Homo-oligomer: A and B are copies of this chain.
Amino acid sequence: MAISYPTPRKSHEKKIDRSNLGMTLESDIEVTNQYYYDKKIAVIHKKPTPVQVVNVSYPARNKAKIVEAYYKTPSTTDFNGIYKGHYIDFDAKETKSATSIPLKNIHQHQIDHLKAITEHGGIGFLIVYFKAHNEYYLLPFDVLYNAHIESQTKGGRQSIAYQTFKEKAHLIPFSYQPRLDYLKIVDQLLIKPS
């Protein structure tokens, strides 16, 4: 029997590679965001996973119980918020490949959304985790967009090379607290826009 899994957002039930931490990229970011919030550094939240509710039952005196629903494709990115007065917007992606991340991992509507965001003066990017290297990168939207445009051309590359990350993205330090200090990279972008 073919088993199809939901979009790996609520991946708590899935087997996780990072056995030491038992955490996913997403929860690493959420822990980081909580740290930023507690320290009054930034207010950045993950949006809830969108669900199409079809049927709800009301067990006696209990709260509404959803008995039929389906995961929907998000129309935006997963994370947004405010940092030093700037609108911040990003998505998190991971790849097992040591050499590249396939562009099919990044949906057209996410490209469109981030493009709109940056056009309105926001800061848009991806956080990409290369499992094989155990490295996290902040990929500025303009680098992503250029790769996306190239992929639309005949014979154009359909992925972003690891080498491109080395050259044009920014390695995010992974530490105890905050776990993934991506705003340190945003600080650099604010000083010297790419």
A residues bordering B, Cβ < 8 Å?
A: 1-6, 10, 37, 40, 42-43, 45, 47-51, 53, 56, 58, 60-72, 74-76, 80-87, 89, 113, 116-117, 119-122
A113: B residues at CB distance < 8 A:
43
A37: B residues at CB distance < 8 A:
116
Q: Known contacts A50-B48, A86-B87; decide if A63 and B71 are in contact (CB<8 Å).
A: yes
**CA of A76 to CA of B81 in the docked complex: distance in angstroms?**
11
A49: B residues at CB distance < 8 A:
48, 51
**CA of A71 to CA of B66 in the docked complex: distance in angstroms?**
8
A75→B120 contact, CB < 8 A: no
Q: Which of B5, B85, B119 contacts A120 (CB 8 A)?
A: B85
Closest-by-CB residue of B relative to A76 is: B45
Nearest chain B CB to A100's CB is how many angstroms away?
A: 28
A51: B residues at CB distance < 8 A:
48-49, 51, 53, 66, 69
**CA of A71 to CA of B57 in the docked complex: distance in angstroms?**
12
A116: B residues at CB distance < 8 A:
37, 40, 43
**CA of A4 to CA of B64 in the docked complex: distance in angstroms?**
7
